[in-house]
Structure 1
Amino acid sequence: MTGAKITAIGSYVPLQKMTNADLEQMVETNDEWIVQRTGIKERRISRPNEFTSDLCVSAVQDLMKRYDKSVHDVDMVLVATSTPDLTFPSVASLIQHRLGIPLTAGAMDLNAACAGFVYALHTAHSYVASGLHRKVLVLGADTISKITDYTDRSTCILFGDGAGAVLVESDELSTGFFGYHLGSDGGGGHHVYRTALSSRIEELELLDTKLLVQNGREVFRWAVRTVPQGVQRLLDQAGVSLAQVDWFIPHSANLRIIEPICERLNYPMEQALYSLVNFGNTSAATIPLALDLGVREGKVQNGQRILMYGFGAGLTHAGQLVQLDLAPQVSESTPL
């Protein structure tokens, strides 16, 4: 087995902001109600002609600029997204072309919804650790605003758009990956969905809409029950105690989900990183955005133990315990 490390990170969010005050003009809600129930103050919204691949390209350009990294020797591109520009070709193929990544590189999209980035990171680690690949570009990106129902106040207050990118490279001497846990409960698939070729899940007839539909209460119950169990299984597998974890990065679905998860784990909220306050729920992008915010703010340092845990539609969940080994930063970060 070959070691694998995260050596660079980048992120991007659209320029347009949608504040809680903006939402007050669209649905029956107000800033106090939204903040009290979600912790979200604003979110970023992509332009009509701005798509997931565009956000991905900008996130990778941010990575390359900050860490003086090239993607011309990347041999695999993995994009976690539920909102590709097109059904096919993949977002990964589009950005491979736009960034001049070699024609010999593999490129594919993964769809595990809000757990997607951690699934993609797990896949990248597997490729590199097995020796099949040496440099994998991993992205979590979504333009959820394009499938949000802005007449449904229970969901439209949550979602925004964004992208995060990391490089996973081989290292013959050591590794930055220490444990993982994956899971899925397809029986709860009807709690978060968007119809496509079918509007059925087994015997269940769904609301036939191309917009996102979510039963927030059921997702809350499932996440608060499932994530702490998954975290403990991951830690047991890795032989690490929660007290040895420097930062916990759960999916930024809703602050009111993160709080009871931390409470059940007996983990301090001040050591939980999230990106939802200014960016909302960006699905597969929430975890890399939160990680990069921690790096930009000087909180997250090389060598610290970071536990990421994604959860969402499927119902899928995935955790990964890592240590960063970021290259020296050569350029200042562009403020998000």
Structure 2
Amino acid sequence: MLTGQFQNIKIAGLSVAVPTEKVPVDSYAPIFGTENIEKFKEMTGVQSVSRAKPNQTASDLGYEAAVDVFEKSDVAKKDVGFLIFVSQKPDYRMPSTAFVLHKRLGLPENCLCFDLNLACSGFIFGLQTILSLLDNSDSTAALLITGDTSVKTLSPHDRTMVMLFGDSGSATLLKKADDCSPIRLGFRTDGNRFKSIITPAGAYRNRNQPHDRVAWSDGILRSDYDTHMKGMDVFGFSITDVPQLMKDFMSWRETTADDYDYFVLHQANNYILKQLSRKLKIPTEKIPVSLDRFGNNSSNSIPLVLSDHFGDKNQGQLHIFICGFGAGLSFACGDLSIETDVINPLLETDSFYLDSY
């Protein structure tokens, strides 16, 4: 396990934006059949998903979250020395979407910007990266934006995925401070299973694949431009490798489930959350759930849970355990303390950037 520890940096603000449209899982009954819908809801716990408008990108949602977090925090844009955008749905192949966000937000020239191509582990991988940069610079603040509009690369015929994934964006401000607890993170990667969650075409390998959707071995119509997930491989990874990482991290930290107020976990599906609860002896009331109303939100799962459950509460400081896992395969966890008054309520938006190419 690779570990990272950071002193004297805290989360100074966190906002999450979701589209206004919520698509009920039941609305897919005419396509997939009522029996399949009921089985899906029982297994995943998802009742509806958030769905971006056709012209709305991941960066649009991240931008709205960033505007909100600046309005509600004491961090000035001129002090932001780093901007990282975490997504697998960028605006363009070139340049990095971070530069588009830099322009839209009016951040200073003395600001290092780039994208990270990550999904469900992306928030924690992004934290490690931006904390490392901030810790080793003369900047006093940094902005981490995550965003995904997963539906844009899903086959509408794929009953395993199209009802599962929701769209959203988040913005997290980090600030140097003397009065804060350490942030500790742990990571693992298994590139041997990179094909377990993959969109085979659409970049610079497999460039000439046909766009027509045909029946794959599981009978579902897809093209190579649609994201495909090997369900059993990912399921095995989620209930074996991920809890082992969590155990190893708590062993390193010399903590138990009793030491944390909440476990804010990637919202993969309800069954996986129950398995993690059982294997690590975590009381279910310590695992807040948002996937029932928003679905699996990829890199935004952890911020979305925080905003959904604590954005309108004043509970003081929370000591939380975080964990994200998915495409790569990549998995990460950590613990940190956060004041609930810097967590903002969820905002809804259909806005998108008009100044496109």
TM-score by length of 2: 0.85
Whether 1:312 and 2:319 are equivalent positions in the alignment is no
Q: Given the alignment of the two structures, is residue 269 of structure 1 paired with residue 272 of structure 2, yes or no?
A: no
Q: Which residue of 1 aligns with 2:298?
A: 283
Please report how far the alpha carbon of residue 130 of structure 1 lies from its aligned counterpart in structure 2 after TM superposition.
Answer: 2.8
Match of 1:157, SS state, is coil
Q: Distance in 2 between matches of 1:106 and 1:244?
A: 36
Give the 5 Å matches for 1:1-336. 3-29=8-34, 31-67=37-73, 69-171=75-177, 173-195=178-200, 196-199=203-206, 209-298=224-313, 301-325=315-339, 334=347
Aligned partner of residue 31 in structure 2, secondary structure = coil
- CA 1:231–1:133: 2 relative to 1, 3 Å: farther
Assess, with a 3 A threshold, how the Cα gap between structure 1 residues 296 and 2 changes in structure 2: closer, same or farther. closer
Distance 1:107 1:182 in 2: 23
Counterpart CA distance in 1 for 2:83 and 2:75 is: 15
Query: Over residues 174-206 of structure 1, what are the superposed CA-to-partner deviations in whole Å (9 max), with x where a residue is unaligned?
Result: 444342110111111111101232259xxxxx9
Q: 1:181-232 CA distances to partner (integer Å, 9 max, x unpaired)?
A: 10111111111101232259xxxxx986111100122211111111211112
Could you tell me which runs of 5 or more consecutive residues in structure 1 were left unpaired when the two chains were aligned: 201-205
Deviations 1:118-169 (A, max 9, x none): 1001112222233453211012210001011110111111111001111111
- The answer for the alignment partner of 2:210 in structure 1 is none
- The CA distance in 2 between the partners of 1:178 and 1:277, in whole Å, is 29
Question: Which segment is superposed worse, 228-237 or 139-148?
Answer: 228-237
State the match for 2:354 in structure 1.
Answer: none
Aligned counterparts of 2:180 and 2:193: Cα–Cα separation in 1: 35
What code does the residue aligned with 1:284 have? S
After superposition, the Cα gap between the structure-2 partners of 1:13 and 1:322, relative to the gap in structure 1 and judged at 3 Å, is same
Count the aligned residue pairs. Answer: 328
Q: Deviations over 1:290-311 (max 9, x none)?
A: 1111222427x44321111000
Task: Please tell me whether the aligned partners of residues 140 and 288 of structure 1 are also in contact (alpha carbons under 8 angstroms).
Answer: no
Shift of 1:69: 4.4
**CA distance in 2: counterparts of 1:332 and 1:154, whole angstroms:** 30
| Counterpart secondary structure, 2:84 | strand
TM-score by length of 1: 0.90
Q: Secondary structure of 1:221's partner?
A: helix
Secondary structure in 2 matching 1:114: coil
Distance 1:150 1:48, change over 3 A: same
How far, CA to CA, are the matches of 1:327 and 1:280 in structure 2? 25
* SS state at 2:305 partner: helix
- Specify whether residues 238 and 43 from structure 1 end up closer, same or farther in structure 2 by C-alpha distance, changes over 3 A only: same
Gaps of 5+ in 2: 1-5, 208-216, 350-357
CA contact (8 A) 1:52 1:91 kept: no
SS in 1 for 2:321: strand
After superposing the two structures, state which structure 1 stretch, 125-134 or 208-217, moved more.
Answer: 125-134
Counting aligned pairs with the same residue, the percent is 27
Aligned to 2:106, what secondary structure does the other structure show?
coil
Contact 2:75-2:141 within 8 A present in 1 as well: no
- Distance apart, 1:239 and its partner CA: 3.2
Q: Distance in 1 between matches of 2:128 and 2:182?
A: 9
CA change 1:328–1:33 in 2 (3 A) is closer
Distance in 2 separating the partners of 1:333 and 1:38: 23
Partner of 1:133, secondary structure, is coil
Q: Distance in 1 between matches of 2:107 and 2:59?
A: 14
Q: Distance in 2 between matches of 1:57 and 1:129?
A: 24
When structure 1 is superposed on structure 2, of 52-61 and 124-133 the one drifting more is 124-133
User: Shift of residue 68 of structure 1?
Assistant: 5.4
CA distance in 2, matches of 1:276, 1:316: 20
